[in-house]
Chains A and B, each alone.
Chain A
């Protein structure tokens, strides 16, 4: 008790000192850089540098341009889910059905593509629309059924996966590998950067702008930080929750399209299973507070990159792929433990 309380007066007194004599203590340049970039981002960059150094010193292939592209394309799909998961978590929710939605959208895009006589645009639009609908279902269960988001999306994780298996009989669907649009998505590039990475950067950029610069974003932070306050301030929080889960579904739909493009056919499960774990891990590692109200797209992107480099490195170094799952799980726990320790929560009972 005294241990946690003691630092408080010290903090307030320095704050007061800052207030009265602003010019007395000028922060050092290093301090200012740290302030501007953020402690989380600096830690992530340091971790990234360390991991790159270790892997690079063991295997020089790591630094080859082709490998960097491999990392980029590998993280594009999980990165999409991670950035939208960040928005959901900031709003105080969690969506663990994103992987299943991506799988369903992947199957749907290929099936629509085939059914409409190889019209890629309809396949893409249909997949995104189905993702949106899945998200709306999640939102409606949560808001109107009063179901905790984890339970609601755990249920739909199973249900959406089941639907994807039902409509596909559990098999890969269609063949999109010869369609120019799908080929462009999977292997094309603009300015030497693969299309997949452009899609991720575009979505991440839009979400970043929304969170940082629009009133919608500010209200999302408010909603996640204190939903009672947000509601009493006049924000229609039900509508926001619905919209946020719909957004998550939509982005998962885009991820589903990318899965189809990369594999050349609609994959009910194999391309998407476990993506929710990667998405949540990246968001948590990026410092998004699982209680809501705090987080940033840029930090999540850095965490996505860190995860991608780690997994790529383990593959390069010949680590058994089963260990990679252990590593991902461990990383999620470590990320959350760090978060909780920093928040100074008392170690009593089941955490919120």
Chain B
């Protein structure tokens, strides 16, 4: 704010954006200056991705304007933004799988004469580009797009940017898929770009990188810009405070019934129901975790930390590469989710529509799905028993539906989620795993879902709740386990857990450092 010497390349003024009534961004004003790295930080859902999408022309803002070199601009597509010199490099860039690296880099602007493009000239050009940027050897120009690693795909996107006129270059957590050496090359490149006057936006959770690269750091929270600090004048503590410092009392519902209120000696004295012993899959490594009867364990971490992947492994949806899942002292043989269900594990997945609901069937069909065998005699579904069961749970969970015969797609997100919960309650599971149980759910239904979780715990069910909303994790959990990079980064008891400590564990470069902080 103090340096007025360099006019900003791109200014976002009063940007607002909402999705289905939820404010993703509210009145965000930000200057992006040439020859500077601006870091963008914030929790999951703080609005970083939305802001990047608006900068890249992927989505139009509802309110506010973008100015390029002082002139107002409207990007109605990523192509518009690129033409103006604004590019965003996402974690998983779009690559054409069946053509070479070289063609992928110059896609849309292939050197052509009479519609025949010169393959050799193209290859040489990309080779020179790689040399210039210090990535020789990282990638072969002739490799097919489909064979590239995430890091190499990102490199293609970077090369695309470097070989066209780029004034603003934004990176979305670029290092999450890079090795240390690749990260070094990337940082060197970013610094060179900065020297040459490119304005750089750098989104990351990793404090170390931020302080290594950034000139200024902007923090978003709940869609608002909390502040912009020169990197030299701030520290990790202040940034974490800015990221989480919301009004804690606003959201979560304290537990008022059940185990938490009773004077329980310690979790150790209770019976372990779900035990994970060194659980390893393609995405998670060596996870040890215990959930006791009547306990709610919150599983926190950043998006991509491996929480959903852990759940999928525990319910037998993806194969275990090692370790054991034990329920009530009995090790499970998990070949399909059916084995987990038979062992008493229920699982409400994150993607409700894609993975849980039969959108074209009724509330009744959706609710009774996991208990059809129990409702049947000689394979015939006992319709009266089914109707009674459905009526009971619709009433108990206060599912707002005109009738159990209503198509589920006509219900609100919160009521759909209640039906998914009811599906598992009807099975009376010993273990219930809920992945983002309140995503896309309105505030009223949220409170009701918290109450349901609470009652379940009181009735002795062992619950593992994955949530990206820290207040929710804090409000619900007896114990909080934090994951990072597919591993357990640390564990916090209800009394010692704060948003700051969870976040510190989730973003610390090494789990040990975070725990000692």
Is A245 an interface position by the 8 A CB rule? no
Is B288 an interface position by the 8 A CB rule? no
Query: Smallest CB-CB separation from A12: which chain B residue?
Result: B410
Is A178 an interface position by the 8 A CB rule? no
Whether B357 and A215, one on each chain, are in contact in the complex, defined by CB atoms closer than 8 angstroms, is no
Q: Among the listed stretches A219-227, A279-287, A302-310, which one makes contact with chain B, having 4 or more residues with CB under 8 Å of it?
A: A219-227
Whether B379 and A229, one on each chain, are in contact in the complex, defined by CB atoms closer than 8 angstroms, is no
Closest CB of chain B to A293's CB: distance in Å?
Answer: 6
Is A348 an interface position by the 8 A CB rule? no
> Which applies to chain B's interface (DSSP): helix, strand, loop or mixed?
mixed
Is B105 an interface position by the 8 A CB rule? no
Whether B381 and A228, one on each chain, are in contact in the complex, defined by CB atoms closer than 8 angstroms, is no
Given the complex of chains A and B, what is the CA–CA distance between A232 and B429 in angstroms? 14
Name the residue among A11, A214, A229, A236 with the largest chain B CB count within 10 angstroms. A229
Q: Which residues of A contact B356 (CB under 8 A)?
A: 226, 229, 232
Is B365 an interface position by the 8 A CB rule? yes
Whether A225 and B360, one on each chain, are in contact in the complex, defined by CB atoms closer than 8 angstroms, is yes
The one of A18, A236, A293, A294 that contacts B336, using a Cβ cutoff of 8 Å = A236
Contact with A along B328-343 (1 / 0, CB 8 A): 0000000011101110
A-B contacts, CB under 8 A, total:
86
Given the complex of chains A and B, what is the CA–CA distance between A174 and B336 in angstroms? 48
If the complex has contacts A232-B349, A233-B341, are A218 and B370 also in contact, measured as CB distance less than 8 A?
A: no
Query: Smallest CB-CB separation from B342: which chain A residue?
Result: A234
Whether B381 and A213, one on each chain, are in contact in the complex, defined by CB atoms closer than 8 angstroms, is yes
Closest CB of chain B to A8's CB: distance in Å?
Answer: 10
Contact with A along B306-317 (1 / 0, CB 8 A): 000000000101
Closest CB of chain B to A27's CB: distance in Å?
Answer: 13
Q: Which residues of A contact B360 (CB under 8 A)?
A: 225, 289, 293-294
Given the complex of chains A and B, what is the CA–CA distance between A294 and B361 in angstroms? 9
Is B122 an interface position by the 8 A CB rule? no
The one of B338, B354, B372 that contacts A228, using a Cβ cutoff of 8 Å = B354
Given the complex of chains A and B, what is the CA–CA distance between A18 and B336 in angstroms? 41
Query: Smallest CB-CB separation from B340: which chain A residue?
Result: A234
Whether B317 and A232, one on each chain, are in contact in the complex, defined by CB atoms closer than 8 angstroms, is yes
Given the complex of chains A and B, what is the CA–CA distance between A293 and B407 in angstroms? 13
Name the residue among B315, B368, B380, B401 with the largest chain A CB count within 10 angstroms. B380
Q: Which residues of B contact A230 (CB under 8 A)?
A: 369
Q: Which residues of A contact B365 (CB under 8 A)?
A: 218, 221-222
The one of B317, B347, B402 that contacts A15, using a Cβ cutoff of 8 Å = B402
Q: Which residues of B contact A234 (CB under 8 A)?
A: 337-338, 340-342, 370
Query: Smallest CB-CB separation from A221: which chain B residue?
Result: B361
Whether B336 and A215, one on each chain, are in contact in the complex, defined by CB atoms closer than 8 angstroms, is no
- The count of chain B contact residues (Cβ–Cβ below 8 Å) is 35
Given the complex of chains A and B, what is the CA–CA distance between A11 and B410 in angstroms? 9
B-contacting residues, A262-321, CB 8 Å: 289, 293-294
Closest CB of chain A to B340's CB: distance in Å?
Answer: 8
Whether B380 and A214, one on each chain, are in contact in the complex, defined by CB atoms closer than 8 angstroms, is yes
Query: Smallest CB-CB separation from A210: which chain B residue?
Result: B379
Closest CB of chain A to B238's CB: distance in Å?
Answer: 43
Q: A214-B380, A231-B336 provided; 10 other pairs, C-beta below 8 A?
A: A12-B410, A15-B410, A19-B402, A215-B380, A215-B381, A218-B369, A228-B354, A229-B356, A232-B315, A233-B337
Binding site for A on B (CB under 8 A): 315, 317, 336-338, 340-342, 347, 349, 354-361, 365, 368-370, 372-373, 375-376, 379-381, 400-402, 406, 410, 423
Q: Which 10 A-B pairs have the closest CB atoms?
A: A234-B341, A19-B402, A215-B372, A225-B358, A215-B376, A234-B338, A214-B379, A233-B370, A228-B355, A233-B369
